[in-house]
A and B are shown apart, each in its own frame.
Chain A
Amino acid sequence: MINKDLGFVIPSLINNEECNAICELINGLVENNKKYQFCIFNQYNELPDTRLVPLMPISHAKYFDGDLLTFDFPSLVMAINFPLTRNINYLTNSAPWSMSYNRYSSWKNIFSKQNLRIFTNSKEISEVYNIAWNIKAKIIKEINHESIYQILS
């Protein structure tokens, strides 16, 4: 069972393939779990129809006390700083610290959060998170609303 409040941090919803796929996924999740509350925290939206999910300004996320799901690293960085969030779920296929050299303390601040859960469909990335941060990233074979429901349950 999903925590009854689930937020998605998507700062920018552009009319492109990736954002449309994310919205499809979210809509699938909402349609199949009508008892629960969902919302998207967003700053810019050019999609004509987000249908079933209300959009809220990112600034409102600081009052949100449910679980969050993020799809990219900038969104994760934002989500880390929201004070009331229960679990932060990060869906990724990358290891951001290996692409952008930075201070260790910045990365540690993100990847040592106790409420961070990582999901990936890459075995390699799962192994890398385990080696670098002792994080057991769960592997999901296919990204769709059913698999997302499974991992959030």
Chain B
Amino acid sequence: MRNICITRSNKKLNKNLPYYSSELVKLFEFDTKNSIYKTYYSMNKTIDTFILNSSLLNAETLDFIKQFDGNIKFILYKDEDIDIPMPESVYVILDPKIQNKKPEDIQLPKHIINDKIYNEENIQETKLYDMVCFLDNQATIPQQLNELLYPNTSLKIRLFNGSGLQHYQNLGEINENERKEILLESKTLLYINPDYICEAMMCGCSVADISSDNPDIVFNNINNPIMPENLEFTTYAKIIEDFIL
């Protein structure tokens, strides 16, 4: 039995890994706002691996790494390009969007899906709504998206996970299971970053890139959404097997 603790965060990797707890590997989420020491000792020192996000590292976590380096496996998930000196034994895995790669760092594939949720058995489309956009990790509604929302237009766009963003079309917080239900119910996924293109493909959703600053390009993409096909992807099960265990 391996006990793995992963930082609680809204990043896609952090939200999906805990679905892979099994009899052999237990994955727990922990909050860096609480003491990492407290987490470690409250579990009777049985944690084998910590997966830590670079964006959420604090002084206490860095002290903990120094103290337990060699006894516990540390994996630094670089979700933001922050240069923090780390002991050599710390494994570094990079988010696909991070360009600054050292030879020993492992870059995650661009498309990773949660095959516990997205598998052939539980995919049944019922398209009730037009468009959906996920606002995970966005502090504000991006300008190019705002142009598409009420009252600027009456396009039927539903927004999710825009934590604390007040807008008529922001319908609240969802988990990964609910995200799948929403993709199954929606015709088109509007995206600013391509995190969920593969999931959209599996749920029969067309996709439209709205990241451009040029409104003409954005409107053109919305009017001509693409049906993603044959995207290569890997699964979180494989990521755990290859990089974490």
A contacts, CB < 8 Å to B: 95, 97-99, 101-108, 124, 127-128, 130-132, 134
Report whether B171 and A104 are in contact in the complex, using a CB–CB cutoff of 8 Å.
Answer: yes
- Contact string against A for B residues 118-150, beta-carbon threshold 8 Å, 1 for contact and 0 otherwise: 000000000011000000000000000000001
Report whether A134 and B171 are in contact in the complex, using a CB–CB cutoff of 8 Å.
Answer: no
Report whether A124 and B170 are in contact in the complex, using a CB–CB cutoff of 8 Å.
Answer: no
Report whether A107 and B171 are in contact in the complex, using a CB–CB cutoff of 8 Å.
Answer: yes
B31 at the interface (CB under 8 A from A): no
Number of chain B residues close to chain A: CB under 8 A = 24
Report whether A98 and B170 are in contact in the complex, using a CB–CB cutoff of 8 Å.
Answer: yes
Tell me, rounded to whole Å, the shortest Cβ–Cβ distance linking B227 to chain A: 23
Bound CA–CA A35/B172 (angstroms): 44
A105 neighbours in B (Cβ, 8 Å): 172, 174, 178
Interface residue stretch chosen among B98-106, B159-167, B213-221: B159-167
Bound CA–CA A63/B226 (angstroms): 51
Report whether B170 and A131 are in contact in the complex, using a CB–CB cutoff of 8 Å.
Answer: no
Report whether A97 and B171 are in contact in the complex, using a CB–CB cutoff of 8 Å.
Answer: yes
Tell me, rounded to whole Å, the shortest Cβ–Cβ distance linking B130 to chain A: 9
CB nearest to A130 among chain B residues: B156
Q: Which 3 A-B pairs have the closest CB atoms?
A: A104-B172, A128-B168, A98-B168
B163 neighbours in A (Cβ, 8 Å): 101
Known: A131-B157, A132-B158. Is A102-B172 also a contact (CB below 8 A)?
yes
Bound CA–CA A149/B36 (angstroms): 62
**Overall SS of chain A's interface:** helix
Report whether B168 and A102 are in contact in the complex, using a CB–CB cutoff of 8 Å.
Answer: no
Bound CA–CA A104/B169 (angstroms): 12
Known: A104-B178, A105-B178. Is A132-B169 also a contact (CB below 8 A)?
yes
Q: A105-B174, A124-B151 are in contact. List 8 more A-B contacts (CB 8 A).
A: A102-B172, A104-B178, A108-B171, A128-B168, A131-B150, A131-B157, A131-B158, A131-B168
Report whether B178 and A134 are in contact in the complex, using a CB–CB cutoff of 8 Å.
Answer: no
Report whether B168 and A134 are in contact in the complex, using a CB–CB cutoff of 8 Å.
Answer: no
Bound CA–CA A99/B170 (angstroms): 10
B173 at the interface (CB under 8 A from A): yes
